[in-house]
Amino acid sequence: MNVSVARPLEAPLLRASGGAMAGEDMALIKLAAALGRELGAYRPVLYWLDTLASAIVGWGALAALILVPGLPVAAQAVFAVAAVLGLYRLGSFIHEITHMKADSVPGYRLGWNLIAGVPLMIPSFMYEGVHTLHHARNRYGTARDPEYMALALKPKLSLPLFVAVSALGPIGLIIRWAVLTPLSLLPPVRDFVRTRLSALSINPDFRREPPVGAAMTRWNLMEAATSLFVIAVLASVAAGIIPLRAVLIWLGVLSASMVINQVRTLAAHLWENDGAEMSITAQYLDSVNVPPPALLPALWAPVGLRYHALHHLLPGLPYHALGAAHRRLLAELPAGNAFHGGNHPSLAGVVARLWASAGTARG
């Protein structure tokens, strides 16, 4: 089946009513809701197999880079790519954790944090309770959205800077866990760390409200575990137990995966909203699907992230069901439906559109 790609509604149309469309596309919303009920069952075995396979590929390739001496340059390149993509896919499951109920995949949060969250320095509490705010009907695209910046309305220089800063992500995380977490035992520092440095967000004005009860207990445990892990790594390097080269390779792989994720984030939305509340349909059209037949999105937007616009319609749908939901919507909705406006043929096209929009005068 060929993918129908229609040009998304232009930003002036979205802004004509203060950032929201005049009405919802009810055919799209009703069919999406029906598919959510039909396809919403989680498949725990698939989650575990996919996660473990990603961990074996990512950590195994990283171990080969560090431990196998005298690798030919070509082999080093292969292992480096495998490590970056494997760990990038492994880390992307944090997005699934934020949307699933605890009993959807029993034990998954704990297992993922042990094999990914702590050693990648992104424990799941950094995203839980944060990402769901991005999906709130009255928050998306506003100043209260932790994951939105109107990049299409900013100077062009902001786009390469947005990507480049992610390369320093591992250094920032080391400082957060090895330095600021111990210092946060002091109440004034603790407040700063909790509100400003405890969320994987892109909105610099976002301030996090710490959770309460069991969620706060999980936060404290994951924070302590990650801090102890990073401090142990640094102490082992200082003591000569772990070679500095090994840690630099680890950080380099993490940096590369963060850059890929930032490029994916750049293409996750059109970033054209000016801060006003948006309708569900407008939020969908401001978001991006890069569906088949494109193949590369399976690598740079793994774990269902290539269907990001569809995910905004159905945030509770597990990643393994998004492809089937997309195909059903494609087959059952006519060409004039808003669904087709969220589909884009390539990453390059989305970024090119964003580049063309950035820095231009807005009426």
- Bridge partners of 287, per DSSP, are 269
So what's the pLDDT on residue 362? 53
The verdict on residue 152 lying in a domain is no
The verdict on residue 139 lying in a domain is no
Cβ 163 vs Cβ 266: under 8 Å: yes
CA distance 172 to 296: 29
1-51 tens-digit pLDDT: 333 333 333 333 333 333 333 478 999 999 999 999 999 999 999 999 999
Average pLDDT score over the chain? 92
The verdict on residue 363 lying in a domain is no
The verdict on residue 151 lying in a domain is no
The verdict on residue 324 lying in a domain is yes
Could you list the residue range(s) of the whole structural domain that residue 301 is in? 11-41+268-357
320-356 tens-digit pLDDT: 999 999 999 999 999 999 999 999 999 999 999 999 9
The verdict on residue 233 lying in a domain is no
The verdict on residue 317 lying in a domain is yes
Cβ 259 vs Cβ 170: under 8 Å: no
- The DSSP code sequence of 24-70 is --HHHHHHHHHHHHHH----HHHHHHHHHHHHHHHHHHHHHHHHSTT
Q: Is the bond preceding 293 in cis, omega lying within 30 degrees of 0?
A: yes
CA distance 96 to 94: 5
Could you give the number of structural domains in the chain? 1
278-300 in b/e form (b: 16+ CB < 10 A) is: bbbbbbbbbbbbbbeebeebeeb
256-273 tens-digit pLDDT: 999 999 999 999 999 999
The verdict on residue 150 lying in a domain is no
